């Protein structure tokens, strides 16, 4: 199950989730506390010089262990679905 | 020598401008389902090829004025293509101007820290709760944490 996390406020996240028709949870971290704890902070990366998250994806199993991860070097380049699917098949 | 030869018009600056415009537009390719990975390079390459073609046209118009006409139009095309080239280079730079992967970020094989955050309906949920599922849903075998930039 995907879980989206960003600094967006509750209403903004709900708006995006609704607009795209996603049923998975969107989590809101406006103070970037969890983002900081995961070492993913992009200081002043937001439109008004706000701190945001750098793009990153982690596939974690039930023990909380990272099984696959992706850190893009370019915000225009998204992760490859094949890679993610291959990693998720190894989890049972 | 009588200057009665008909001077040719050079189309190179306009071809170059077209290429730099296409280079800028190619940034939108990921939205069409095109694989995103090559897009930044396609965009940069198109713009750079376009610039070379523009320069060639400038050389024709200004370097060989007896053969080619169109100084004004080639200067105009050069100006516009410079704008698009600058835009493409700026977007190339800014899209990659993100912090490098931190060595202290969770790595494959490591456990991620648990956390609690409000979801988009305002209810607090923890990672543990997300793994435990709900009355209507089976507990998931895995979670894909997608950290995104926000402000969409």
- Give the residue numbers spanning the domain of A64: 59-92
- Across the interface, whether the CB atoms of B147 and A69 are under 8 A apart is answered no
Read off the pLDDT band of A81 (50, 70, 90).
Answer: confident
In tens, the pLDDT along A46-57 reads 888 899 999 999
In tens, the pLDDT along A54-69 reads 999 999 999 999 999 9
The predicted pLDDT at position A80 comes to: 80
Residues A7 and A39 in one domain: yes
Q: How many domains does chain A have?
A: 2
Residues A26 and A66 in one domain: no
- Across the interface, whether the CB atoms of A2 and B111 are under 8 A apart is answered no
Q: Is B95 on the interface with A (CB under 8 A)?
A: yes
Distances (CA, A) of B147 to A47, B24, B46: 17, 27, 31
Q: Is the pLDDT of residue A87 over 70?
A: yes
Residues A34 and A15 in one domain: yes
CA dihedral A78, A83, A84, A89 (to 10 degrees): 170
- Quick one: DSSP state of residue A31? T
Low-confidence spans in chain B with pLDDT less than 50: none
Q: How many domains does chain B have?
A: 1
Q: pTM (2 decimals)?
A: 0.84
Query: Residue B17 class from Cβ within 10 Å (0-12 exposed, 13-18 middle, 19+ buried)?
Result: buried
The predicted pLDDT at position A82 comes to: 82
Report whether B20 contacts B43 (CB < 8 A).
Answer: no
Q: Measure in Å the smallest separation between the Cα of B53 and chain A Cα atoms.
A: 27
The predicted pLDDT at position B145 comes to: 95
Instruction: Find the residue in B nearest to A27 (Cα).
Output: B119
Residue B23 lies in a domain: yes
Residue B143 lies in a domain: no
The predicted pLDDT at position B2 comes to: 52
- Give the residue numbers spanning the domain of B31: 8-96
Mean pLDDT, chain B, as a whole number? 89
Residues A15 and A42 in one domain: yes
């Amino acid at each position: 199950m995907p879980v989206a996390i960003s600094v967006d406020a509750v209403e903004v996240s709900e708006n995006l989730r609704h607009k795209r028709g996603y049923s998975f949870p969107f989590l809101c971290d406006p103070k970037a506390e969890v983002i900081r704890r995961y070492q993913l902070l992009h200081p002043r990366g937001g439109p008004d010089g706000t701190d945001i998250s750098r793009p990153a994806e982690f596939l974690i199993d039930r023990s909380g262990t990272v099984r696959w991860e992706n850190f893009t070097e370019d915000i225009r380049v998204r992760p490859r679905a094949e890679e993610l699917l291959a990693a998720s098949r190894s989890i049972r | 020598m009588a200057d009665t030869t008909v001077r040719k018009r050079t189309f190179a600056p306009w071809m170059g401008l077209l290429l730099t415009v296409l280079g800028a537009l190619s940034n939108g390719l990921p939205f069409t389902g095109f694989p995103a990975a090559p897009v930044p390079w396609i965009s940069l390459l198109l713009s750079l090829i376009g610039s070379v073609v523009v320069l060639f046209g400038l050389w024709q118009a200004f370097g060989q004025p007896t053969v080619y006409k169109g100084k004004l139009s080639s200067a105009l095309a050069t100006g516009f293509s410079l704008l698009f080239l600058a835009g493409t280079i700026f977007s190339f730079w800014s899209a990659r101007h993100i912090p490098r992967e931190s060595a202290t970020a969770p790595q494959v094989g490591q456990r991620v820290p648990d956390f609690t955050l409000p979801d988009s309906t305002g209810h607090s949920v923890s990672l543990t709760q997300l793994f435990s599922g709900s009355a209507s849903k089976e507990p998931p075998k895995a979670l894909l944490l997608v950290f995104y930039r926000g402000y969409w």
